[in-house]
Each structure stands twice: as C-alpha cells, then as structure tokens.
Structure 1
Amino acid sequence: MPVPLKSQPSFKDDLATAQRPLTGMWVCSGSPLVAEICAGSGLDWLLIDAEHSPNGLESVLAQLQAINGYPVTAVVRPPVNDTVIIKQYLDLGAQSLLIPMVHTPDDAAAAVAATRYPPNGVRGVGSALARSARWNRIPDYLSVAAQTITVIVQIESSQAVENVEAIMAVDGIDAVFIGPSDLAASMGVLGEQENPRVVAAVEHCIKAANAAGMPVGVNAFAEPMALHYMSAGVDFILTGADVALLARGSEALAAKYINSFDAGPSASY
C-alpha cells in the first residue's frame, strides 16, 4: 500500500509567519553535498541557482533531495522565464521559484501562467510522471498544486523599477526580489551596487512593496548594505554564496600560511 503524502509548505508560507527578515544564501556550486552542508547551517532559506551556475535538471533535483528534511526552505532560480523550463523545475519538485529578468506586468503574468494548470495557466500536466506529485501519491495534486507554489519575480532593471507597482498587482505573484547587480548595469553603473542611484531605486521598490503588502527581498553580500536594507523593510535577504565563502576562505588560508612565509623572515631589532 503506498505511503500517504502531502505537499510541504513553500516559501510564501514561511514569509506569512515570519517575525523578522528571513536570511538565506546562494547555492551555486552544483554539488548536493555542499547544498546539504549549507542546509544545516541554521539559515532560513537557500537559493539553488540555475541562471549563473553550473546547474541543470539533474543537479537541481539532487540538491532538492539533499536539502529535504533539513529545517530550511529551498528556492530555485531557473535560467530564464520560460514556460517549458518552469514546468520542468516544478515537476522536479521545486515549490518556490525565483523568476529572473521580469521587467513588465506581462513578464510577471507569463511566469504565473507557467506555474498554473489550465484553465488558469499553461503548465503541462504530467503529475503521474513527476516528483512534484510524488508520482500521484499526493492526493488531488492537480487541484491543490497552485496553493503549494511560491512565485517570486526578480526586479533587476530600470524598466522593472518603473513597473514595480504594476508587476506586484499581477494576480499570483507572491513576492518580489530586487537584484542590485543587474539593476546597476541597467542604470549605466556596472559593478556599483552601492551607487546612490541604485540604492535609491532599491529603496523605492522596498517602499512600494511595503505599501502594497507584498513581501520583498534583496541581494546584499556587503554587511553594511544588508543591514541597511533589513532596516529599510525587506522581508527576506540573501547575504552570501557557497562559492564566494569558499573562495574568500581559501584565500584567507593562503594569506595566513603561505604569503607570510613568502614575505621572508621578520627584521630583527
């Protein structure tokens, strides 16, 4: 007799009950082992990235399986806002999606439609074949699937900032997430995430989201900016990445144990 199963909560459920900003990190290495290490860190959420990281369907699936069972929520970023790709990530069992490069309300509506079965959307039906429904072991999955999915759209261009209120008004959007890096590039200040114009644009989006009652998040690796945006009213934040922590940590080891010897013996008094 099959084991009775039910869908797990998704990120919107965490946001609805949170009493503080939910803090997370990027998982970009493509390694299920690294993802599992991060899952036990005590952070609130992990973002498995497939836009700028060496992740495909198989590696995302393995990381979802590695994270499952830890007290942390997995969010997955597909490489593009595409109906077919979103369908595949949902069928893998990803329940919380961060959709990149959403510039207009039409972009947002397309993202939502990709997560909904007809007649409310265009998601292809394959629940008997998919981990999302645990191969039809979740009763009535087709009718309850939309309730178990979180759709977060990424605001990361000047156009998106101008349209942020209209984007948030699209039915089915559960949260917005601001990406200062691409936003800076679109504003002509590539690499200057702390440029006053970029910061002002981020703050504008935070205020708009707060006024609309829409959960809002941001990416901020620099601690002063992370604390600033947390004070400004974000509901969730990414403050680091597995690959960045490994890069900086390994550099620190090299500086401590190699560079000091390369400098030669200390001068005597």
Structure 2
Amino acid sequence: MPIRLTLPPTFRDRITGSDRPQLGMWVCSGSPLVAEICAGAGLDWLLIDGEHSPIGLETTSALLQAVAPYPVTPLVRAPSDDAVVLKQLLDLGAQNVLVPMVDTAEQAADVVRAVRYPPRGVRGVGSALSRGARWNRVENYMADADRYVSVFVQVESGTGVENAAEIAAVDGVDGVFVGPSDLAASLGVLGQQTHPDVVAAVHRTFEAVRAAGKPVGVNAFDPEMAQEYLDAGASFVLVGADVALLARGSEALADRWIGDDGES
C-alpha cells in the first residue's frame, strides 16, 4: 500500500495562524544549496522568484525539494499571470503562488480561476503525474485542492493602487503584496522606493487591502522602511535577498582586505 501523505500548511494558514508578521527573504540565485542555507536561517518564509531571476520550472522544483525539510514556508512568484505556467507551478509542488503585475479585479479573478479545478476554475487535471499531489498519495487532493493552495497577487502600479480594494475583495485572493520598485517606476520616480509618493501609495494600498479583510505584505530591504510598514499593519514582509546578501558581503570583504587602491 502506498504511503498516505499530508501537505504542510499554506502561507495563508501561516499568516492567519500567527500572532506576529511573517518575515522572509528572496531566493533569486537558483541554487538549491543557497536556498537550503536560507531555509535554515530561522526566517518565516522564502520567496522563490520566477520573475526576475534565472529560475525556471525544473529549478523551482529542486528549490522546493531543498527547503522542504525546514519549518519555512516557500512562496513561488510566477513570471506572469499565464494560466499554463500557474498550472505547472502547482503541479510541481508550489502550494503558494504570487502573481506579479495585477492591476484589476478582473485580472485577479482570472488568476484565481487558473489555480482552481473545474467547474470553479480552469486548472488542468494531472494530479497522478505531479509532485503537487505527491503522485496521488495525498488523499482527496483534487477535492480539497483549494485548501492546499494559497494565492497572492502583487500590486505594483498606480493603476493597481487605485484598484487595490477591488483586487483584495476577489474571492480566492488570499493576500496582496505591494512591490515598491515597479510602483516607483509607475509613478515616475524610477529607483526611488522611499520617495514620499511611493510610500504614500504603499500606505493607501495597505489601508484598502486591510479594509477588505485581507493580509497585505511588502518588499522593504531598508530596515527603517520595513519597520514603518510593519507598524502600518503589514502581515508579511521581505527584508532581504540571497543575491543581495552575497553581493554586499563580498563587497565588504573586498573593501576590508583590498580597499579602493587595489592593494592588500
């Protein structure tokens, strides 16, 4: 007889079941070894980034396997809202997905349909072939699939900010993540994530999403901004990235041992 397996709680469950915000970091390197090191660091969650990194489907699968033994929750950012890609991510075992560049409630509703089986959605049926259902070793996976999957959407444009309340209100959207980098570009202040207009837009989004009864998160590498957003009610925050830590750490080594003159 095959072993009957259970899946870990979703990111939705982790957020609602915690009495404090969930703090996490990006995994962009594509290295399962690096991902495993980050998974054991004591953070609450990791964002495996399939949008701005060289991470494809096979790599995502390997990263999820690498972090699976640790008490950290992986959230996988899809490259887009494409329904086929979302189906593939769910089938390879991504229980928690983040969809970038969601500007309208209609787009959010399409995302929800993409991760649900018919008749409530359009997700293709392949549980017997996929790690997502542990090759049908998770009992009643298809009937309970909504319980095993959480869906987060990303607001990162002026249009998205204006529609944040409607986006958050879509049934099946479990939370909204605000992206200050693209939001800054959308507002005409490229590269200025802490610009007053950007910060104000983030706060407006927070208020709209929280009023809809949904958790809201944000990316904030600057510790002061991260704390400001936590004080404003963020339920989940990204406070660093594997590649950024490596870049700044290696630069610090070079500065310490070589310096600006190129001599040790």
SS in 2 for 1:74: strand
SS in 2 for 1:253: helix
Separation in 2 of the partners of 1:134 and 1:104? 34
Tell me which residue corresponds to 2:18: 18
1:165 aligns with 2:165: yes
1:143 aligns with 2:143: yes
Tell me which residue corresponds to 1:199: 199
More helix by share: 1
1:69-88 paired onto structure 2 within 5 Å:
69-88=69-88
Separation in 1 of the partners of 2:260 and 2:181? 34
Tell me which residue corresponds to 2:249: 249
Tell me which residue corresponds to 1:51: 51
Q: Offset of 1:190 from its aligned partner?
A: 0.5
Identity of aligned residues (%): 61
Tell me which residue corresponds to 1:95: 95
- Opposite residue 164 of structure 1, the aligned amino acid is A
SS in 2 for 1:89: helix
TM-score normalised by length of structure 2 = 0.98
| 1:83-127 deviation line (CA, Å, top 9, x unaligned) | 000000000010000100100011101110010000000000000
Separation in 2 of the partners of 1:206 and 1:78? 22
| 1:211-254 deviation line (CA, Å, top 9, x unaligned) | 22210000001111111111111000001000000000000000
| 1:114-165 deviation line (CA, Å, top 9, x unaligned) | 1000000000000010001111111111100111111000000000000001
SS in 1 for 2:142: helix
Tell me which residue corresponds to 1:180: 180
2:165–2:211: 8 Å Cα contact kept in structure 1? no
TM-score normalised by length of structure 1 = 0.96
Tell me which residue corresponds to 1:27: 27
SS in 2 for 1:143: coil
Separation in 2 of the partners of 1:260 and 1:171? 55
1:222 aligns with 2:222: yes
| 1:152-210 deviation line (CA, Å, top 9, x unaligned) | 00000000000001111111000000000000100111011111011000001111222
- Please, which runs of 5 or more residues in structure 2 have no aligned partner? none
SS in 1 for 2:144: helix
Pairwise CA RMSD of aligned residues?
A: 1.1
- Opposite residue 213 of structure 1, the aligned amino acid is G
Separation in 1 of the partners of 2:139 and 2:71? 24
Q: Offset of 1:261 from its aligned partner?
A: 6.9
- Bigger drift between 207-216 and 248-257 goes to 207-216
Q: Offset of 1:262 from its aligned partner?
A: 4.1
Tell me which residue corresponds to 1:233: 233
Separation in 2 of the partners of 1:260 and 1:81? 45
- Opposite residue 221 of structure 1, the aligned amino acid is F
- Opposite residue 83 of structure 1, the aligned amino acid is A
Q: Offset of 1:7 from its aligned partner?
A: 2.2
1:259 aligns with 2:259: yes
Separation in 2 of the partners of 1:184 and 1:171? 28
- Please, which runs of 5 or more residues in structure 1 have no aligned partner? 265-269
Separation in 2 of the partners of 1:176 and 1:261? 47
Larger radius of gyration: 1
- Opposite residue 85 of structure 1, the aligned amino acid is V
Tell me which residue corresponds to 1:211: 211
Separation in 1 of the partners of 2:261 and 2:160? 51
Tell me which residue corresponds to 2:65: 65
